[in-house]
Structure 1
């Protein structure tokens, strides 16, 4: 298995733009729209993004561009977002296929969680692809 460790702790906005395929001005705009996306700034005032920020950006990109959510719709999905939860869902300890509830057992909200899990798996695959390119 490949070592998927990320080589850097912090990335500049230009590096994040190249990694994610999202223009810098859009990244700055998303900071104003999504309260969860708050990169730190260094002493010079430049944005410094963490790996968790990049995961969130890729998730937002998926919601907006792949799943065609509006900004407001994506905000609603991200209300309960935590970076740790995203990482945990991308690397489940148990096989989710064997623990999936049957259709009749699904309670309200579970269908959204299942769809979200599929999206997170797509993001994981995208991150693995990006990391392989580093």
Structure 2
């Protein structure tokens, strides 16, 4: 399902694979980030729509790479606390909030069946843990 807040030229790109509506590279990069597998809507698109997005990524590798680099730069710039064991001090809730928000957003984007399957995997693993 294409997010309702996507502009018409993004919708057209997803529905038809037509990139003619993109006027700037920044807009195209933003599109690739919004339709990514990580933190994007890729997993919610139909098979035909995902094929169109993959076709655009394959057809514009330099823009796709710019989107990947922008996402990496943003991710690396954000401080990380969860899972880090060598912290000099415990982080405050305000410092943790961006990570918590990102995790909650990711969980919210998981399909119901995926989250149920994951819960079953965890439950099965926990049965074997003393």
Bin for the TM-score computed over the shorter chain: under 0.3
TM-score, with structure 2 as normaliser: 0.28
TM-score normalised by length of structure 1 = 0.27
Decide which structure has the larger Cα Rg and report it.
2
Q: Relative contact order (C-alpha < 8 Å, sep 6+): which is higher?
A: 1
